[in-house]
Amino acid sequence: MSSLVLGFQEIEKTQLLLVGGKGLNLGKLSKIDGIQVPEGFCITTVGYQKAIELNKTYFALLDQLRMLKVEDRDQIGEISRKIRQIIIEVEIPSDVVKAVADYLTQFGDEHAYAVRSSATAEDLPHASFAGQQDTYLNIIGKEAILQHIRKCWASLFTDRAVIYRIQNRFDHRQVYLSVIVQRMVFPQASGILFTADPITSNRKLLSIAASFGLGEALVSGLVSADCYKVQEDKIVDKMIAAKKLAIYGLKEGGTETQQIDPDQQKAQTLTELQILQLAQIGRQIESYFGCPQDIEWCLVDDTFYIVQSRPITTLYPIPEANDQENHVYVSVGHQQMMTETMKPLGLSFFLLTTPAPMRKAGGRLFVDITHNLVTPVSREILLDTLGQSDPLIKDALMTIIERGDFINSLPNDKKELSPSKSNKGMSSAGFQAQIENDPTIVSDLIKSSQTSIEELKQNIQTKSGSELFDFILEDIQQLKKILFDPQSLGVIMAAQDASSWINENMNKWLGEKNVADMLSQSVPNNITSKMGLALLDVADVIRPHPEIIDFLQHVKDDNFLDELVKFDGGQEIQDAIIAFLSKYGMRCTGEIDMTKTRWREKPTTLVPMILNNIKNFEPNASNRKFEQGRQVALKKEQELLDRLKKFPDGEQKARETKRMIDLIRNFSGFREYPKYGMINRYFVYKQALLKEAEQLVQANVIHEKEDIYYLTFEELHEVISTNKLDYQIISKRKDEYKLYDKLTPPRVITSDGEIIVGEYKRENLPAEAIVGLPVSSGVIEGRARVILNIEDADLEDGDILVTSFTDPSWTPLFVSIKGLVTEVGGLMTHGAVIAREYGLPAIVGVENATNLIKDGQRIRVHGTEGFIEIL
């Protein structure tokens, strides 16, 4: 056995770098009992390296390629073409030629072979690279095979392979190619078998694509294929396609495309028995590899041959459960406006804070709601609550319930009806009876939270090592008390229920929809909307100083605050920004992940927003905006009460309505406060832990402070206690984080891995309407600004913000916009609450909005009806 050429049976599990992903998997497949793999061998990456190791031009061109970005397509094309030409003309080392000849003699010189590329960065769990390199079929004779080995090597530098590597940050010098030479089989049929359904991600549903002849026709998109679905040894679905063409091998070598007889075009490619036999083979291969597989197969004289198996890289991981029962999970990120992946330390802090039954998957959190779906009452409460926060989640859950076979339903349990079991189960009357309509309740709750945070800041300074961890755990109990304080929840629910009451009754009595939206404008005590207005005040301080405005336009470094004092008026401006940061600096995008960089840590994040405010507003805009909103609300209140008084029982209706409006005005601002308190505490914990991390860096336990973000709270405690860490854990978690970051989390996923997608059901909308959930009334037209990253926000007054989601850190942008469209969100999520308070028409939960709406398009947002028109 040489390291230049290896037969499939000789390949060891550890030889990825020698034979590439495809070669390694063929080696493994050929050792599974009962699985037929056409015999063959691999020219290893050592053979490739030996062929090019002395070619100076090749390495010089590689150096040029390393400097390029994805946008430099013309240069990439030119350099890649030159590299391919060098490789096509390269001399294959004589010992490689001899080893290839020996294997061909062993397997039969006269036979036809497939010559296939296998890159070292291919068919990996985190990057498939599928289809990046070339395959040649039905090649006969040693000289032709050697020529096609060179062609495979050259295909490492096709434009698409080079661009894919640049996008995925793979170093061109670190990716090598092995070439597989595998005996050809000439199948009646071939295709692909997915051991998990690639559409729904259901791990229990196998999906088989099958067509006549060689699989090349199917893979290249030349023909439609039959599609069979198999679940638990039963064929549950069949779709027979019209197969007009097939590719077959020619005796003299090469392939040809043939027309299929019209009477055979609609024939089923595989028999029922063959479908079930192939499904069993798929399950056996999946079990061997330990994860869902994408398998290429051929059928020859009633025998299935497997020519490739690779992991399916696009499936969302299933939340972990400790039993074999059916479970239903709902995404926390879609309710917290943070669908990005979280780092392990951020995940573990959120898990310590919440009492809900949480599960981790793909770097995100999911709530196991199975027990809530079991009985009718708890199910109704859950659907009602989630329907308000995200109707698409509710619709997906309805799909599961209506199937009737996934969750076993039980009759109502009397104990379950007790209000103490679920605050969400309380009626509005229950809350409003408990809560007096007294605004001092809110100011007292805020004062008590602030006092508690100040005490925490004092006390934590004296703690370090293990004592710090015990202290944080103890303080999290205090945080939970504040977050789940019945009075605090009562205030939030009373305002929410009063809004529902107003919307329902004003629609019934006066025929007006979503009136509560106008009544919620400029309410007191909303810490998040105040933050947006406070940044307008910062702009006012800077506006009279053109020299400082110019300086800020070129700021790159977070030490810019220290530089300000060199300018005239700089001290006052520095003070204004520092005052803003001391109150709001713990915020940032994705703030529920405590590892995310806060504004206090990276104040340059605020600079574009401040400059936008200077450009778009006149002085004293914050007071004017707030007062404008307040007047709109008061005027609306007066108008409603005047109209109601004209009814026969008008005085009674007006009295009840006035009480509800007061609840909205007094209490709805508080909804944003508990989270502000939580994020405040998280930042205090974070600063203390980063001090500990500095000690770990000095002791060479970790490389950089931020490495601690890849450990859970418990693991970090252990590392700080022992001063020991296997650094591979950090490296592995960083790779996982990169992988998870590419995944899109589902709103609802089952323990089978099935992703259930909800939809809005609406009638009478314009044909091209883009539908979402209306959360803030009004109709507005304007320029769409599609912004995925807050740092890239360049807004002008009157723009409509289109983004994936907003959390409190986006609020400073809300003062500049006239409307809001987000992909994620519900009636009570942050963006909706602030949009109502600022009087912005808003639609949330718009699937794929950032792709459907293009930056710069004129759009009309129907915030009352819940749809968007592109004008």
Among all residues, which ones are annotated catalytic? 830
For residue 425, give every residue at least 6 positions away whose Cβ sits within 8 Å of its Cβ, in sequence order, or none: 377, 381, 417, 419
Closest by CA position to 99, among listed 146, 53, 138, 37: 146
CA 149 to chain centre: 40
DSSP tag of 301 = T
Strands (E), 31-176: 40-43, 112-119, 135-140
Q: Strand pairing of 817-822 and 842-844?
A: parallel
Q: Are 11 and 31 in contact (CB under 8 A)?
A: no
Q: Are 391 and 755 in contact (CB under 8 A)?
A: no
The full DSSP string for 166-206 is HHTT--GGG--EEEEEEE----SEEEEEESS-TTT--TTEE
Q: Which ranges in 511-620 belong to alpha helices (H)? A: 516-519, 527-542, 546-553, 560-564, 570-584, 607-616
Q: Residues 847, 851, 857, CA angle at the centre, nearest 5°?
A: 115
Closest by CA position to 248, among listed 110, 107, 112, 145: 112
Closest by CA position to 810, among listed 826, 832, 790, 795: 790
The full DSSP string for 715-774 is HHHHHHHH----THHHHHHHHHHHHHHTSPPPSEEETT-PEE-------S--TTPEE-EE
- Report the alpha-carbon distance of residue 90 to residue 496 in Å, rounded: 73
Q: Are 521 and 836 in contact (CB under 8 A)?
A: yes
- Report the alpha-carbon distance of residue 32 to residue 28 in Å, rounded: 7
Closest by CA position to 811, among listed 797, 824, 826, 801: 801
- Report the alpha-carbon distance of residue 504 to residue 501 in Å, rounded: 5
The full DSSP string for 398-439 is HHHHHH-SSS------GGGG-GGG-GGGS-HHHHHHHS-S-T
Rounded (10°) CA dihedral 793, 795, 800, 804: 0
Q: How many CA atoms lie within 13 A of 435 on its CB side?
A: 34
Q: Are 6 and 44 in contact (CB under 8 A)?
A: yes
Q: Is 531 helix (H, G, I), strand (E, B) or coil?
A: helix
For tokens 């990825």, the residue is 16
- Report the alpha-carbon distance of residue 178 to residue 15 in Å, rounded: 11
For residue 438, give every residue at least 6 positions away whose Cβ sits within 8 Å of its Cβ, in sequence order, or none: 666
Q: Are 796 and 866 in contact (CB under 8 A)?
A: no
Locate 720 and state its tokens. Answer: 């700080």
- Report the alpha-carbon distance of residue 666 to residue 662 in Å, rounded: 6
Distances (CA, A) of 266 to 212, 218, 224, 240, 361: 11, 16, 11, 7, 42
Q: Which ranges in 214-332 belong to alpha helices (H)? A: 216-219, 262-265, 272-289
